Structure 1
Amino acid sequence: MTEIREAYTVPVLDDAGLRLDAWDPESEADVAAWLRAHQDPEFRRWNTPLLPVTDLAEARDSLRARRADAAAGRSVTFRVTEAGAGERGVILGQIGVNAIDRTMGVARVGYWVLPEARGRRVAVRSLLLAARWSFTERGLNRMELGHAVGHEVSCRVAERGGFPAEGTLRGAMWEAERTDAYRDVHLHARLATDPEPAEAAG
């Protein structure tokens, strides 16, 4: 298996009225937004992070870990703000291109949106932008997206972002706020050769 050796910097992507850029673990605003997202009841209903984020110190450590993963080429975690809102902008959400396997050209994508930014297609627009970058700039062949069965909002985001459903993975995700029980995951995926979804032009 090819070992990733190059250092990597999170790029800045501007399109569809959004800016995607790097989280800053030394920014109080970034750390506070990261913590607030992880404490949001809707986030906690559908996600159980590998490591808990329950206070500012854990939020900062989590962001530092994501910066290290980006530098090693393992994943790229984007901060989502509105384009043209200044260098740091108002944080709307997050989208990550995770578990990057450069040998097979595969990665997994995940996202969340802060409560006040929901209903504005932030997740769909972020997904389209991150996927376009991953295929054209990082040379990926396949991106996978998994969400807990029953999470209909995430299912719609995936479909509108050009990630059709491929099946169900049994017991592939922890139950909400538990690490001793599992639930099924709805798997979606998109290939580099798939056409750009119509949503991208909307």
Structure 2
Amino acid sequence: MKESKALAPAWIGEFDLLLRPWEDGDLDAVLRGIADPEFRRWNAITVPPPDEAGARAFLGRRVDGWKQGDSVGFAVTAQAEGPDAVVGSVGLSMIDHIHRSARVSYWILPEFRGRGYASRALEALTRWAFHEELRLHRLELGHALGHDASCRVAERCAYGLEGTLRGALPGSDGGMWDVHLHARLATDPEPDLMARAAR
């Protein structure tokens, strides 16, 4: 049985990003994120409806996650895009304090893709999860087969491919999709994202 405890909302400054708890003022960014057709192509079953009520539900779940200690959600902000500009989302779910594990997730708004924000946000979250209050040991990352962009983010952040989960995700086409399972341990070497970006 997993044990949960309330978590204090955190702010993570890493690379050129600030990861901060979601706020009510982020409603528009959330709505654009969960309504994005490419995002919904891969996540239609696991996200709220693409309307204001769905965006408010998304924000409410992020607040509840901190209180319940079973998930944490961050707005990814990048000053390079403007003061407190939200470029995407990153978070942990299924936090298991006994097994010291969790599941990562992320998305980037369409206009900010291709700039490395997903990789840097995931790496910032990963380091925080391993070394700060949570002190987790294992983080898992799952994505539908064919979602090559998500696979590349996993590889850049040294989440090794461990296998394929057959029929593990309800797909947007009504079928059950296979999922690539990646994972990273606290004892694994950290990737040098800046060196990769320079190549």
How far has the Cα of 1:49 moved from its partner?
Answer: 4.0
SS at match of 1:96: strand
How far has the Cα of 1:108 moved from its partner?
Answer: 0.3
Q: Which whole-Å CA distance do the structure 1 matches of 2:51 and 2:148 have between them?
A: 29
How far has the Cα of 1:75 moved from its partner?
Answer: 0.6
Question: In structure 2, what is the equivalent of residue 130 of structure 1?
Answer: 125
SS at match of 1:8: coil
Structure 1 vs Structure 2: percent identity of aligned residues? Answer: 47
1:67 to 63, 67, 72: 63
Q: Which whole-Å CA distance do the structure 1 matches of 2:167 and 2:112 have between them?
A: 31
Structure 2 counterparts to residues 1-202 of structure 1, below 5 A = 1-5=1-5, 7-24=6-23, 26-27=24-25, 30-50=26-46, 52-83=48-79, 86=83, 89-137=84-132, 138-176=134-172, 178=174, 181-199=175-193
Q: Which whole-Å CA distance do the structure 2 matches of 1:165 and 1:83 have between them?
A: 32
Give unpaired runs (5+ residues) of structure 1. Answer: none
SS at match of 1:94: strand
TM-score, length basis structure 2:
0.91
Q: Assess if the C-alpha contact under 8 Å between 1:44 and 1:177 holds in 2.
A: no
Q: Assess if the C-alpha contact under 8 Å between 1:166 and 1:189 holds in 2.
A: yes
Q: Which whole-Å CA distance do the structure 2 matches of 1:34 and 1:191 have between them?
A: 30
Count of residue pairs the alignment pairs up: 194
Q: Assess if the C-alpha contact under 8 Å between 2:45 and 2:172 holds in 1.
A: no
Q: Which whole-Å CA distance do the structure 2 matches of 1:74 and 1:177 have between them?
A: 30
How far has the Cα of 1:47 moved from its partner?
Answer: 0.9
Aligned pair in 2 of structure 1 residues 2, 186: CA closer, same or farther (>3 Å)? closer
TM-score, length basis structure 1:
0.90
Aligned pair in 2 of structure 1 residues 13, 201: CA closer, same or farther (>3 Å)? farther
SS at match of 1:132: helix
How far has the Cα of 1:199 moved from its partner?
Answer: 1.9
How far has the Cα of 1:39 moved from its partner?
Answer: 1.0
How far has the Cα of 1:177 moved from its partner?
Answer: 6.0
Aligned pair in 2 of structure 1 residues 2, 40: CA closer, same or farther (>3 Å)? closer
Q: Considering only aligned residues, what root-mean-square deviation do their CA atoms show, in Å?
A: 1.6
How far has the Cα of 1:4 moved from its partner?
Answer: 2.0
* Runs of 4+ more than 3 Å apart: 83-86
